[in-house]
Amino acid sequence: MTTLSIDHVSRWFGNVVAVNDITMNVGPGVTGLLGPNGAGKSTLINMMGGFLAPSTGTVTLDGQQVWRNEQIYKYIGIVPEREAMYDFLTGREFVVANAELHGLGAKAAQKALATVEMEYAQDRKISTYSKGMRQRVKMASALVHDPSLLLLDEPFNGMDPRQRMQLMDLLRRMGDEGRTVLFSSHILEEVEQLAWHIEVVVAGRHAASGDFRKIRRLMTDRPHRYLVRSSDDRALAAALIADPSTSGIEVDLAEDALRIQAVDFGRFTALLPRVAKDHGIRLLTVSPSDESLESVFSYLVAA
């Protein structure tokens, strides 16, 4: 049982606060670290991996300090986001070197290469690899010493759907085996497909934590805003406001449109076309005005 504990960790760079007082425990199974780009996920992962000192707070693995403790890497496998990886070596040479640095031999390297199904291209230079192949060799180098904690920074970036599926299967297997697997992502669907548990980070702060379905519901049930243009905006507004799924409507004269706030997403999306049809109103534009991930996340922060 490996637990990574982040205790009141903050990290700032000059005047910029990248991570703001985050406390979380990451236990066995697959955990997704979700947040928009620039939310502080990489800074957090770097601190978890011992590559960056927290400005305040502590990061420990089963009670052992991570920062400035080389011996901790016996238990941690790291898959960095960065591409660079000794391109002049072949895949096999790279993984063997990683095994040797752990005091292991070619056998461990071969096993790791088999786990990520890269044996077929192991004798090619890394410089000739595709993004997905690089990612798998990086995985092999992280798995070579059979770590109990695996940290992956945006592992699915730039992978095609098939490679993504393969890596997800692999990570799921690792989680089922009882390893603590943490991966970061800014894509909701990735996290949804893979993680049992998620931690949401927004603007350096810990926005939500827990079971994915609960958080997903929070995200879906938040008030939605729409911009609607129709053949008769005022009549449409009058008809919609009568229904409890709509909490506010504003006539935007400059845009010549209605700005509608809906509190019940499912009910509103069914109501709008029906009301329009019943009143003989033509809908010209229906566009969600706050569907960006950032707005979803900022709602979560407020919730």
- Interface with other proteins by CB under 8 A: which residues? 13, 18, 38, 40, 42-43, 46, 49-53, 68, 70-74, 76, 78, 80-82, 84-86, 88-89, 97-98, 100-103, 141, 153
Instruction: Please list, in sequence order, all residues whose beta carbon lies within 8 angstroms of the beta carbon of residue 163, skipping any fewer than 6 positions away.
Output: 132, 135, 136
Cβ nearer to other proteins, comparing 63 with 88? 88
| Least distance from other proteins to the Cβ atom of residue 36, Å | 12
Start-to-end CA distance of the chain, whole Å, equals 32
Choose among 262, 266, 270: nearest CA to 244.
Answer: 262
Cβ nearer to other proteins, comparing 158 with 210? 158
| Least distance from other proteins to the Cβ atom of residue 121, Å | 19
- Are the C-beta atoms of residues 236 and 242 closer than 8 Å to each other? no
| Least distance from other proteins to the Cβ atom of residue 136, Å | 15
Strands (DSSP E) contained in 62-217 are 64-65, 76-79, 149-152, 180-185, 197-202, 205-211
**Beta-strand relationship, 205-211 and 4-13:** unpaired
Cβ nearer to other proteins, comparing 46 with 230? 46
Cβ nearer to other proteins, comparing 36 with 230? 36
292: how many CB neighbours lie within 10 A of its CB? 11
Cβ nearer to other proteins, comparing 149 with 239? 149
What the block records as the tokens of 246 is 């709509």
Cβ nearer to other proteins, comparing 14 with 280? 14
User: What's phi and psi for 42, nearest 5 deg?
Assistant: -65, -40
| Least distance from other proteins to the Cβ atom of residue 283, Å | 42
| Least distance from other proteins to the Cβ atom of residue 162, Å | 26
| Least distance from other proteins to the Cβ atom of residue 209, Å | 21
- Encode 261-277: b = buried (16+ Cβ within 10 Å), e = exposed: bbebeeebeebbeebbe
| Least distance from other proteins to the Cβ atom of residue 262, Å | 35
What the block records as the tokens of 147 is 């770590």
CA distance 138 to 122: 12
Cβ nearer to other proteins, comparing 73 with 265? 73
